Structure 1
């Protein structure tokens, strides 16, 4: 497959032939959901297991046909699309496609065949419901030119080869193709025993071949949704306290620093770069796991998975990049995070790398320091007194082993900085009756232009030792 991808990159890009787009797009969300692959036609369905595969029909969300193959005994055979592999209502717009349709992707079923745990559908997107049997954010094969001038490019998985390894685990080989590059992906899926954590681990090996130079290359991209939450209460009439698939970006730097960046619904598109060398990992996390903080008894945001990217080998110099896009609802995936190498990407170049994706409840340890468990902001000054113009109050709560057993006399000191701007009255103290410590301060932006971005960083220390991870946030001057 690597050879096939490399040879394909030497040719001009040609999109996969597809049925008339108006017929495919007529299969909208509701119509797509009513088209079902026949359970008796599932791949590896007898006996059923978590490697049993069913295929998706084409529709508005996935308009390109994808070639499907099965690998058994060291040989590959193509799975041929046929209309009778799907059950659909008599008036379904999918029936108008007839034999011109094709497969759009696939999903692997739970052992009881009641629901799926991994789905590959649309461009190079895939997502897992592990470990809480609840879908949320997505991963994708590659991001190209995200949030820069001009259109973002979405290369697609155009063909899959599916097999089971000697242990019965699902092994996916995927061919990527797009205007700028081709790629060969090998993705091994390893699920823990029933009820185990952290959840699914995907071990991914990639080779990319570039037809042309790429301005912003995003490796191991993650895509999520953040509308509003504890730290960013965007004005809304919705009755739920918080709505988000992820609430923060976690980074474990090559130097060993732990960094937490709460997500936000910004007033404009923002891109933040966190430079590093040899990163140990990063991920979009859902740290708040309390139902009462969401009160959504339909989609259960507290059960949305977190995804942690763990590089295999040395990824060298580059940056974790976080893109946040304004949104007014929960149907938009407005958060993207990925790794961008410092080395420029030239035409005819090749890139090989590997990583693991952990679909988990929380980022892996060991932590060694206390974590951020809450971020809040509001009017400046002391409660009950008039707000001070040009200032904004921030309150961050930390909890964890780094602060265990410490009190006001233990020499705990806040370290806070603003660029630009000024920090006023920083104070840190234990919250009575809880295991938490609280850091509170005002950020002053007097003299800055309205809407100017202000980078805030804070942590707690004792002597020269950091007791907490580093909290990082971007505020905007009023």
Structure 2
């Protein structure tokens, strides 16, 4: 069966049969291994000055012409459009199309772009190259192809499920994030997009990753749906040892929320793409609300072969955000499910100070206990779920919200804070009327619990933990934990909060 695609004036003919495609993951792995065997060469493709001088609004005016989308006329479930380089999207990536007959380079042709009001001469940009691409699929309406997944800027990618808007992102790999030595950003240098069949509901994308100390082969299988799944397979080749390797890194934004009010007036009650880190180990579910610290804050949870972790946006109530433009209530949660035994290590959370919502200041990833050495190889597989309507939650009671105040009248001068934590769902729904759980509370040596209460929340059917605490030294962090128990059994996830230090 022959398929034709008009791509920027180039007619691509591909013949499909039951035979396997002429390119697969092992082809990318061979390229990554060969690349790792050579000294690292930093990609250096300087952009024309008219592109580097663009501001954000000018760059947004450059749009790919929708009628030139790859597969627009082929009656396939997916379409592909491309990103133009410019502004800080200055790393060129090579793009290829995989067919049953072989690999075809996707050419950059400026006539496929609308440059808006920008004073740019397209004829001077021929054969420039792409900054990335985005895949479209009818997520919400069978007659409309919505954005499904986007790879832009060489390092990051993000996806959407049904009724979601873009929020947090993922990366192929993180190296030395938050370290004084500086972070190394592995980038995707080249992509291969596999031509789908009309009946396919899964799109396969291959990628070649490279940086100073590592090269790698990646395969992404994208399955759109209510919770879009991105199945990731990678093979890494290390030129040199890595001190801190971050696997399945997620990047998000947290400015403020009910447990950390804004520093200045803002009509929006909360501003964040994600509100907490969720971790599932073999024996415990942990919930750490995110914070916006005054200085870099790095915390972690040790585990052996984690069951899952993610940066989550549990609160879906529009009234808690009131932002008609950004729609924080529709931002996806991203849940990582490892495949195979990842061994011992830790889920690390890096939180960076930010004064506005334009910066992603939160990163979470898995760090293996044994770091890779020079000449070593590592195989990894996991799936990212981009969720909203059906988010991953523990079978136990879960934390619905965390709030904070000064503890009532007369408490504003004693340096104490009151935390209100609402648990709901899970076993709490099956407690008998005369049953009351017990709240297990813990606080680090830098503080004391002054008051504690556990009351039923008659509105949600859950239970509310209220505790007033005082920190001994404001220049040091204060850690707190709370869990609900019924007899000897934990019936809730663990609320693990950290109050960041105040700089002296």
Query: Under TM normalisation by the shorter chain, which class is it?
Result: over 0.9
Residue 465 (structure 2) aligned to one of 398, 418, 439: 439
> Comparing 265-274 with 27-36, which one deviates more in the overlay?
27-36
Are the aligned partners of 2:64 and 2:114 in contact in 1 as well (CA < 8 Å)?
A: yes
- Which residue of structure 2 lines up, in the alignment, with residue 67 of structure 1? 94
State the number of aligned residues: 468
Residue 453 (structure 2) aligned to one of 427, 447, 468: 427
- Which residue of structure 2 lines up, in the alignment, with residue 235 of structure 1? 263
Shift of 1:213: 1.6
- Which residue of structure 1 lines up, in the alignment, with residue 419 of structure 2? 394
Q: Does 1:179 align with 2:212?
A: yes
Deviations 1:386-430, CA, capped at 9 Å, x for gaps: 446243211100010221243784241111111122223322120
Are the aligned partners of 1:132 and 1:304 in contact in 2 as well (CA < 8 Å)?
A: no
Question: 1:84-99 to 2 correspondence within 5 Å?
Answer: 84-89=111-116, 91-93=118-120, 95=122, 98-99=125-126
In structure 2, what is the Cα distance between the partners aligned to 1:125 and 1:97? 28
Q: Does 1:135 align with 2:169?
A: no
Are the aligned partners of 2:335 and 2:387 in contact in 1 as well (CA < 8 Å)?
A: yes
Deviations 1:334-393, CA, capped at 9 Å, x for gaps: 01000110102211111101000000116755732111001011213xx33444624321
For residue 414 of structure 1, give the secondary structure of its aligned residue in structure 2. strand
Shift of 1:272: 0.6
Deviations 1:120-173, CA, capped at 9 Å, x for gaps: 001320011323241111111111111010221111111000014555221100
Shift of 1:284: 0.6
Q: Does 1:221 align with 2:245?
A: no
In structure 2, what is the Cα distance between the partners aligned to 1:45 and 1:329? 39
For residue 360 of structure 2, give the secondary structure of its aligned residue in structure 1. coil
In structure 2, what is the Cα distance between the partners aligned to 1:408 and 1:268? 46
Shift of 1:27: 3.2
In structure 2, what is the Cα distance between the partners aligned to 1:239 and 1:101? 44
In structure 1, what is the Cα distance between the partners aligned to 2:175 and 2:338? 19
Question: 1:21-36 to 2 correspondence within 5 Å?
Answer: 22-36=49-63
In structure 2, what is the Cα distance between the partners aligned to 1:304 and 1:264? 18
Shift of 1:451: 1.8
In structure 2, what is the Cα distance between the partners aligned to 1:445 and 1:434? 31
Are the aligned partners of 1:221 and 1:338 in contact in 2 as well (CA < 8 Å)?
A: yes
Deviations 1:264-303, CA, capped at 9 Å, x for gaps: 1112110111100111100011000001111111121100
> Comparing 299-308 with 148-157, which one deviates more in the overlay?
148-157
Question: 1:27-426 to 2 correspondence within 5 Å?
Answer: 27-73=54-100, 75-89=102-116, 91-93=118-120, 95=122, 98-99=125-126, 101-111=128-138, 112=143, 115-165=146-196, 167-168=199-200, 169-192=202-225, 197=226, 199-255=227-283, 257-361=284-388, 367-380=394-407, 383-387=408-412, 389-406=414-431, 409-420=434-445, 421-426=447-452
In structure 1, what is the Cα distance between the partners aligned to 2:347 and 2:389? 19
In structure 2, what is the Cα distance between the partners aligned to 1:365 and 1:329? 29
In structure 1, what is the Cα distance between the partners aligned to 2:244 and 2:120? 39
In structure 2, what is the Cα distance between the partners aligned to 1:226 and 1:21? 35
For residue 404 of structure 1, give the secondary structure of its aligned residue in structure 2. helix
Specify whether residues 63 and 97 from structure 1 end up closer, same or farther in structure 2 by C-alpha distance, changes over 3 A only. Answer: farther
In structure 1, what is the Cα distance between the partners aligned to 2:469 and 2:123? 60
In structure 1, what is the Cα distance between the partners aligned to 2:181 and 2:501? 28
> Comparing 329-338 with 161-170, which one deviates more in the overlay?
161-170
Shift of 1:38: 2.5
> Comparing 307-316 with 429-438, which one deviates more in the overlay?
429-438
> Comparing 85-94 with 59-68, which one deviates more in the overlay?
85-94
In structure 2, what is the Cα distance between the partners aligned to 1:74 and 1:331? 44
In structure 2, what is the Cα distance between the partners aligned to 1:248 and 1:97? 47
Specify whether residues 363 and 266 from structure 1 end up closer, same or farther in structure 2 by C-alpha distance, changes over 3 A only. Answer: farther
Are the aligned partners of 2:451 and 2:469 in contact in 1 as well (CA < 8 Å)?
A: no
Shift of 1:22: 4.1
Are the aligned partners of 2:107 and 2:127 in contact in 1 as well (CA < 8 Å)?
A: no
In structure 1, what is the Cα distance between the partners aligned to 2:315 and 2:393? 19
Specify whether residues 35 and 387 from structure 1 end up closer, same or farther in structure 2 by C-alpha distance, changes over 3 A only. Answer: closer
Q: TM-score, normalised by structure 1?
A: 0.93
Specify whether residues 366 and 335 from structure 1 end up closer, same or farther in structure 2 by C-alpha distance, changes over 3 A only. Answer: closer
In structure 1, what is the Cα distance between the partners aligned to 2:307 and 2:167? 24
In structure 2, what is the Cα distance between the partners aligned to 1:355 and 1:456? 31
